[in-house]
Amino acid sequence: MRKNKRLLISIVAVSLVIVGFLWARSQYVVPIIMYHRIDDKASISRLSVSPGSFERQMRFLKERDYNVVKLEEIPDLIKNNRIPARTIAITFDDGYENNYTCAYPVLKEFGLPATIFIVPALIGRDGYLTWDQVIEMSESSVISIGSHAMTHAYLPDLAEQKLEIEISDSKRAIESHIRKKIFSFSYPTGGFNDYVRNKVEKAGYAIAVATNPGRGYPKHDLFAMKRLRISLTSDSLFVFWIETSGFYTWIKEHRDED
């Protein structure tokens, strides 16, 4: 009798572990981390990460054997349902010059791929990348270039003709400068709706990233991928580890109000 009781407890314990494991897997979202500026203004701007913190974070990914992939590799991983452990993608929005002067050398040092989303209308302006810098990075083994729309407009507010300029013309403009196809798009300020999303898909992109559409949105919609903004709190590598675990999106969505 006692032996049967122990066996029953063991079966229940194993079952709970299996259920917990399956539940955790169902909450997993491929972590796509989002940076903007790499500079010394992290204490006053949520869009800034200090060069020192960025270097430590990239070293963390490298030394702990994260599977850092190019963003455009993610669609095949998701479609084939074969996402290796510790898979992660690195992205930058807006195309600030310090992406070239501060982030690019670190990424090259550690051999970590990243995608920089640029705004063609801002290229060459003070504080932003030049076309020469964009071309140089695109020809490297670590940087892919994506579109962040032509003028960084809020896309849901635009009429169809202007939307076409922001989505399709920006793609053609970038491709004409770097002499290669681009496959990724980032919605300015994370703004999109079904109509905008479909326009991006029809324009020939393979993947598009938002910020965080919310808990009710599909976790792996290839044209509205969820991302995690890296900021001052991520100076703690423990926090950074949690954010890059693949489960932080679930935590954040259930912590924040809708």
* pLDDT tens, residue by residue, 36-70: 999 999 889 999 999 999 999 999 999 999 999 99
Nearest one of 171, 167, 161, 227 to 196, comparing CA atoms: 167
pLDDT of residue 196 exceeding 70, the answer is: yes
Q: In terms of domains, do 169 and 251 share one?
A: yes
Confidence of residue 22 (pLDDT cuts 50, 70, 90): very low
- Average pLDDT rounded to a whole number, residues 170-182: 98
Confidence of residue 27 (pLDDT cuts 50, 70, 90): low
Percent helix, percent strand, percent coil in the chain, to nearest 5: 50, 15, 35
CATH of residue 177's domain is 3.20.20.370
Confidence of residue 2 (pLDDT cuts 50, 70, 90): low
* pLDDT tens, residue by residue, 205-219: 999 999 877 767 777
Phi-psi region of 124 (alpha: psi -120 to 50; beta: other; left: phi over 0): left
Domain residues for the domain of 21 are 1-29
Q: In terms of domains, do 217 and 154 share one?
A: yes
pLDDT of residue 10 exceeding 90, the answer is: no
- Average pLDDT rounded to a whole number, residues 76-82: 90
- Average pLDDT rounded to a whole number, residues 190-209: 96
Q: Give me the pLDDT at residue 213, please.
A: 75
- Average pLDDT rounded to a whole number, residues 122-139: 98
Structure tokens at 69: 């992939």
Q: What's the domain count of the chain? A: 2
pLDDT of residue 3 exceeding 70, the answer is: no
Q: In terms of domains, do 43 and 91 share one?
A: yes
Q: In terms of domains, do 217 and 152 share one?
A: yes
